[in-house]
Amino acid sequence: MEIIHSSKEIQNRMIAARAEGKRIGFVPTMGALHTGHIALAEKVRPDCDILVLSIFVNPLQFGPSEDLDKYPRTLESDAEKAQAAGVDIIFAPSPREMYPQGFETTVSCGSITTRLEGAARPGHFDGVTTVVLKLFNIVQPHVSVFGQKDAQQVLVIRRMVEDLSIPVELDILPTVRESDGLAMSSRNAYLTSEERLQGPIIQRGLLDAQEAWNRGERNAEQLRKIVLNCYAQSSLMTTEYVSVADYSCVELSGEISSEVLLSVVCRTAVSQTRLIDNSIMKLLD
């Protein structure tokens, strides 16, 4: 496995690989690799000849009061994990390599980016789509894989790929969880041991709503209330939002007649970690 820092170098290599008929698979990450990232790499590995994983803590997608500086940067151990997962090339650019002096262009995907996480973190999705499009242009993948844990991110990237006719297939992996149900995230490393013990409650709320949905509950406010009641049991977490929305991330009210993206954000009391999770509730035929 190789680690490449230069965007020109990897772009030239990938153009040559494409000309030889090689299929390129791509896993974009911000590093601090955990089992969830490894599962993304393993999902796309059988579907490509060359597997590229990028590691770049993208300053554009962090707000001014967010955790950009303390976000874990662990290239050495990431490289060992990526190699074990069958990654061929790590692309690990510096911020200056990605955003040189004079960089001004951004990509914005419209109304979906102003809702939910976009409302809570203004500018976040413009940062994500700008870097993802740039990474797509550099790595030139045939297929790229993303995790459902960031469900709105997946919907926004789908919008971009569709709207801008980007020639890449998107593959989505269901959320990978710890054995007690907490969704895997690099930010879980911030949790105190007491906060970590209460982590599973986040999925518990989603499962409670799912059970109600399976019993026939279709009222958006009721579903929200079920999740909020569950989270009220936690002494170490406050709920930032519980959203019952459609696939455009538009909040639903009253009786629901479409599929639902139920997404939640909690903030822990001591380490102030923002934990997100979601589930999709489908209508049964």
How many CA atoms are closer than 13 Å to the CA of 94, on its beta-carbon side? Answer: 5
Q: What is the closest distance, in whole angstroms, from the C-beta atom of residue 94 to ligand PAF in the complex? A: 15
Nearer to ligand PAF, 28 or 199 (CB): 28
Q: What is the closest distance, in whole angstroms, from the C-beta atom of residue 24 to ligand PAF in the complex? A: 17
Q: Does 138 bind ligand PAF (CB under 6 A)?
A: no
Site for ligand PAF in 41-100 (CB under 6 A): 58, 61
Q: Does 29 bind ligand PAF (CB under 6 A)?
A: yes
> Interface with ligand PAF by CB under 6 A: which range of 26-34, 64-72, 171-179, 254-262?
26-34
Which residues lie closer than 8 Å to 76 by C-beta, 6 or more apart? none
> Interface with ligand PAF by CB under 6 A: which range of 85-93, 115-123, 127-135, 266-274?
127-135
Q: Does 28 bind ligand PAF (CB under 6 A)?
A: yes
Residue of 5, 34, 37, 142 with catalytic role: 37
The residue to which tokens 């870097």 are assigned: 131
142 is catalytic: no
- Joined tokens for residue 82: 């990526």
Residues 132, 151, 223, 265: which binds ligand PAF (CB under 6 A)? 132
> Interface with ligand PAF by CB under 6 A: which range of 28-36, 105-113, 204-212, 257-265?
28-36
Give the Å distances, CA to CA, from 7 to 130, 164, 194, 264: 15, 22, 42, 36
Nearer to ligand PAF, 58 or 188 (CB): 58
Nearer to ligand PAF, 26 or 231 (CB): 26
Q: What is the closest distance, in whole angstroms, from the C-beta atom of residue 285 to ligand PAF in the complex? A: 32
| Cα–Cα dist 270/115, whole Å | 27
Whether the Cβ atoms of residue 205 and residue 226 lie closer than 8 Å to each other: yes
Q: Does 150 bind ligand PAF (CB under 6 A)?
A: yes
Residues 131, 139, 145, 266: which binds ligand PAF (CB under 6 A)? 131
Burial class of residue 143 (count of CB atoms within 10 Å of its CB; 0-12, 13-18, 19+): middle
Q: What is the closest distance, in whole angstroms, from the C-beta atom of residue 149 to ligand PAF in the complex? A: 8
User: For binding to ligand PAF (CB under 6 A), which residues are involved?
Assistant: 28-30, 58, 61, 128, 131-132, 150, 153
- Which residue numbers are catalytic? 37
